[in-house]
Amino acid sequence: MTKFKGFSQQGLTFLQEVRIHNSKEWFDENRHIYDEQILTPFRCLVDDLSQSMLMIDEEFEIRPAIGKTLSRIHRDTRFSHDKSRYRSRMWLTFKRHSKDWKESPAYFFEIAPDFYRYGLGYYNAGKQTMDLLRLLMRTEPKEFLAVAKCCKSPFELDGESYKRPLVKEQDAKIANWYNRKSFAVMTTSQEMEKLFSENLLTELEQGFKQLAPLYHYLMRVEVMKRNPDE
C-alpha cells in the first residue's frame, strides 16, 4: 500500500504565500501547514519511490530527510544578494552520496506554486565532467545516440549552450548535447491538479525508469573521474 496520496491546494497556497510574506514570524505561525501539506507528502513520496529507484542504482540515498533526499525550505543567504529567508519551492533528489553533488548526476522532482518538473541531470556540471562526457560522445557516437533515445517525450534537453559550436560540422543530434555547458533532461507542467493524486507516483516511476539508460551512461563519467588513468 502506498503512503503517498498526493499534495494539496493548501500546500501550493502556502508556497505562494511564502513569496509574499517570507518572514520568520509568518513562517512560524504557518509551520504546521508546511509540515503537514509539504514535508509529509514529500517524505511519503520518497518512501514510495525508493524501491524502484534502488533498482536503478542500489547506492542511491533514499532516506526521506532534509539534506538527504529533501531540500531545505530555509535559504542560505550568506553569499546571496537575495536575502529572502525561505524558498517558495521544494524538491527531492535521488543521487549517490558525494562531496561534489552539484557535479553528480541526480534524479529530481520539484514543485512550485504554479508548476512542477522532474527529470535527470546535473545541478552544475564542471569542465572536467563535461569534457569527459564529450570524450565519450566523440569516441562512441553511435552508443551515445542509442542512449539519448530514452530522452523522448515527455522529456526535453535543457541547459545553456556555448554561443559557438565546439566542433564544426558535427552531427546535429550530438551537437545539441555536446555544446551544453551543463544540462538536465526534464519535463515541466502547469497541470497542477496532477499533483493532487497518488497517480503522480506512477508518473514519476515511469519517467525515472525511462531515463535510466542515460543515468547509467552518466555514471560512466563518474567512474572516469575517479579513475583518470584507466
Give 122-152 pLDDT, tens digit per residue: 999 999 999 999 999 999 999 999 999 999 9
pLDDT of residue 65: 97
- Number of alpha carbons in the 13 Å side-chain half-sphere of residue 109: 19
pLDDT of residue 77: 67
Cell of 22: 517570507
Section 185-204 average pLDDT: 98
Section 100-105 average pLDDT: 83
pLDDT of residue 230: 57
Instruction: Output 102 or 70, whichever has higher pLDDT.
Output: 70
Cα–Cα distance between 198 and 55 in angstroms, integer?
A: 21
pLDDT at 100 over 80: no
CB atoms under 10 Å from CB of 46, counted, come to: 24
pLDDT of residue 97: 87
Q: Does residue 85 contact residue 22 with C-beta atoms inside 8 Å?
A: yes
Average pLDDT along the chain:
94
pLDDT of residue 87: 94
Radius of gyration of the chain (CA): 19
Determine if the pTM surpasses 0.75. Answer: yes
Question: What is the per-residue pLDDT across 107-125, written as a single tens digit (0 to 9) for each?
Answer: 999 999 999 999 999 999 9
pLDDT at 81 over 70: no
Q: Does residue 200 contact residue 108 with C-beta atoms inside 8 Å?
A: no
pLDDT at 61 over 80: yes
pLDDT of residue 229: 63
Tell me the percentage of the chain whose pLDDT exceeds 90: 87
Tell me the percentage of the chain whose pLDDT exceeds 70: 96
Domains and CATH numbers, the chain: 9-226 (3.30.930.20)
Q: Does residue 120 contact residue 105 with C-beta atoms inside 8 Å?
A: yes
